[in-house]
Amino acid sequence: MNIFLKEYIDKIYVVVDIDYFITTFTLLKTMMFKKFGNEKKSNTSVDTMSATTREEYEQLASEQIPIILSQENDDWLPFKFHDSGLGSLSDVKVYEKEMPDTPIKGTKGTATIPSPASVVYELLWDVEQKKQIEKELLEVEIIETISPSIDIIRARYSAPFPVTPRELVVMRVKMEENGEYYIVSLSVSHPKCEETSKYVRASVTSAVIIRPHSAGCSVTRYNQLDPKGSVPAMAVNRTKTKVGDFLVTLREIVSKNNPEA
């Protein structure tokens, strides 16, 4: 491979907000019924890029979240996490898998965080904390609050030359069930977020699950990012260790905020 091309690919940096899944499909259906089941739903599914009203976003959440979280039971292949540049933790485990209808692989990471699950949950939901965890994040704003547990955010990320900066418009949903916490993010459209030539609109599906653990809490993060534009799938797949970097950075921030942890 041409050396310049290899260096260029190595430097392509694909970023995304956040944030996974864990539990059985039966439990997920029960959770979603509790959150959204008392509301009257249309018999017609909502496309992720067609939702524009509060009711459509809530329906989209009830339809997509069980599908996203159920992927925890699928086959994942482990890979080494040792060259992230952020250091490593013995309990940080990272995985990847082929995804249907796309050459871009999904990634998954797990780690133990020395803090109560509820504290990590609130930290990850706080948009003001996102820049601490995601170093390439330029700006983030809440576009609309759909309900106390659902909002729409827009996040913009830097990228190394000559890659155009990326932008995400994401619906976030948070849930708590039996002491376990879930934050699911899914790319959507929004009337207040028209695309501009300054940013390429990327697409992401991600989830974070926080569970109580004897050492604090266990965190699992699932992520599938399509940066769109002309970034080749090979370059995107080379950034797979970032799911581990996310967990290392999260642990560092939690430890800094709680020195005794």
Taking only the tens place, the pLDDT of each residue in 96-141 is 999 888 999 999 999 999 999 999 999 999 999 988 899 899 999 9
The DSSP bridge partners found for residue 142 are: 153
Q: Which residue has the higher pLDDT, 202 or 60?
A: 202
pLDDT-derived band at 67, boundaries 50, 70, 90: confident
Measured distance CA(36)–CA(247) in Å, rounded: 30
Report residue 114 as tokens. Answer: 């020395």
- pTM for the whole structure: 0.79
The DSSP bridge partners found for residue 170 are: 153, 187
Q: Which residue has the higher pLDDT, 177 or 72?
A: 177
pLDDT-derived band at 192, boundaries 50, 70, 90: very high
The DSSP bridge partners found for residue 139 are: 156
Per-residue pLDDT reduced to its tens digit, 14-53: 333 333 333 333 344 444 444 444 444 444 555 667 777 8
Q: HSE, CB side, 13 Å, CA atoms: give it for residue 43.
A: 0
Per-residue pLDDT reduced to its tens digit, 5-14: 334 334 433 3
Measured distance CA(149)–CA(219) in Å, rounded: 20
Which amino acid is present at 51?
A: A
State how far the alpha carbon of 37 is from the alpha carbons of 30, 176, 181, in Å: 9, 16, 19
CB contact at 8 A, 28 and 69: yes
Which phi and psi angles does 54 have, rounded to 5°?
A: -55, -45
Which phi and psi angles does 235 have, rounded to 5°?
A: -70, -40
Measured distance CA(118)–CA(16) in Å, rounded: 23
What's the whole-number mean pLDDT along residues 173-193?
A: 94
Q: Which residue has the higher pLDDT, 68 or 236?
A: 236
Torsion angle of C-alpha atoms 95, 99, 102, 106, degrees rounded to 10: -30
The predicted structure's pLDDT at residue 36: 43
Identity of the highest mean pLDDT range in 80-94, 155-169, 233-247: 155-169
Kindly state the percentage of the chain with pLDDT values over 70: 75
DSSP string, 142-189: EEEEEETTEEEEEEEE---TTSPPEEEEEEEEEEEETTEEEEEEEE--
Average pLDDT, the chain: 80
Measured distance CA(124)–CA(115) in Å, rounded: 13
The predicted structure's pLDDT at residue 45: 54
Least confident of 73-82, 89-98, 205-214: 73-82
The predicted structure's pLDDT at residue 160: 85
Q: How many CB atoms within 10 Å of residue 87?
A: 12
The predicted structure's pLDDT at residue 50: 73
Helix, strand or coil for residue 131?
A: helix
Report residue 99 as tokens. Answer: 């995804």
* pLDDT exceeds 60 at position 247: yes
